[in-house]
């Protein structure tokens, strides 16, 4: 269908009018009383019409390995990239659950760090997230070591008490329990269970009595020793 000459001229006139309006707006924007505006003022005018808009970056986690209950600091940088003052709430997720929020108010083109403090007691990797930025920290499981094996006395008479002691240390990041076994000649004769918090130590003592003379091998974990049991003299037997 052909357009009539009148309709065609109306369309052309509308396009020309829109272009002229755009030109007039630009001229008004860049001039004041016939003078060109400084570039700084033009930039300011342009930014003031933009709403506040926020960007979150630079996620930091410190430290990345801790013991149970120790504080982990999580921080991120919030920037207002818009042209006006505005408020923003940053949300911290720990292992998928919301644990904290922080609200900030920022002027245009300004930044501020938001900081969170979290703790955990479960061994393993833990994921933290602040508005899409993700990271991890780690809590080692309980881990035990033995040291300072002592046998007193190392020579005893039949029926006398000999004490075997050993130090147990939890080198891990969580509280845990450990079963310490005392073996005599390769056979477990005694055992004690100890529960220790991270970095804690305890000395365990085993009292043994042998009524038959001989040399008895002693083993606790990877530590080896021996007890020499001597016969009681004739006077003590009587």
Domain residues of the chain, as ranges?
A: 5-48, 54-139, 144-237
pTM for the model stands at 0.69
Q: How far apart are CA 31 and CA 37, in angstroms?
A: 5
- The H or E element containing residue 22 is helix 5-30
Give which of 41, 57, 53, 44 is closest to 106, Cα–Cα: 53
Q: Do 54-139 and 144-237 have matching folds?
A: yes
Going residue by residue through the chain, which has 238 residues, state the pLDDT in tens, using 9 for 90 and above: 444 444 334 433 443 343 433 433 444 444 455 555 566 665 555 545 689 999 999 999 999 999 999 999 999 999 999 999 999 999 999 999 999 999 999 999 999 999 999 999 999 999 999 999 999 999 999 999 999 999 999 999 999 999 999 999 999 999 999 999 999 999 999 999 999 999 999 999 999 999 999 999 999 999 999 999 998 774 355 4
SS3 161: strand
CATH (residue range 144-237)? 2.60.40.10
Question: How far from chain centre, in Å, is Cα 59?
Answer: 12
CATH (residue range 54-139)? 2.60.40.10
- Measured in residues, the chain has a length of 238
CA-based diameter of the chain, in Å? 143
């Amino acid at each position: 269908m052909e357009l009539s000459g009148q309709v065609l001229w109306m369309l052309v006139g509308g396009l020309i009018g829109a272009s002229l309006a755009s030109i007039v707006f630009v001229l008004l924007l860049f001039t004041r009383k016939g003078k060109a505006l400084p570039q700084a003022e033009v930039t300011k005018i342009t930014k003031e019409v933009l709403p506040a808009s926020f960007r979150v970056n630079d996620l930091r986690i410190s430290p990345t390995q801790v013991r149970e209950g120790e504080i982990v600091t999580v921080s991120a940088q919030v920037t207002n990239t818009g042209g006006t003052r505005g408020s923003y709430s940053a949300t911290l997720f720990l292992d998928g659950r919301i644990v904290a929020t922080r609200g900030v108010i920022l002027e245009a083109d300004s930044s501020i760090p938001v900081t969170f403090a979290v703790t955990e007691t479960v061994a393993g990797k833990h994921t933290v997230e602040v508005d899409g930025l993700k990271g991890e920290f780690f809590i080692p499981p309980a881990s035990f070591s033995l040291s300072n094996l002592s046998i007193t006395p190392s020579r005893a008479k039949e029926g006398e008490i000999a004490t075997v002691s050993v130090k147990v240390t939890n080198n891990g990041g969580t509280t845990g329990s450990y079963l310490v076994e005392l073996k005599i000649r390769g056979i477990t004769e005694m055992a004690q269970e100890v529960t220790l918090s991270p970095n804690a130590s305890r000395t365990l003592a085993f009292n043994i009595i042998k009524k038959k003379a001989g040399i008895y091998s002693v083993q606790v974990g990877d530590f080896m020793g021996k007890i020499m049991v001597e016969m009681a003299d004739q006077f003590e037997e009587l």
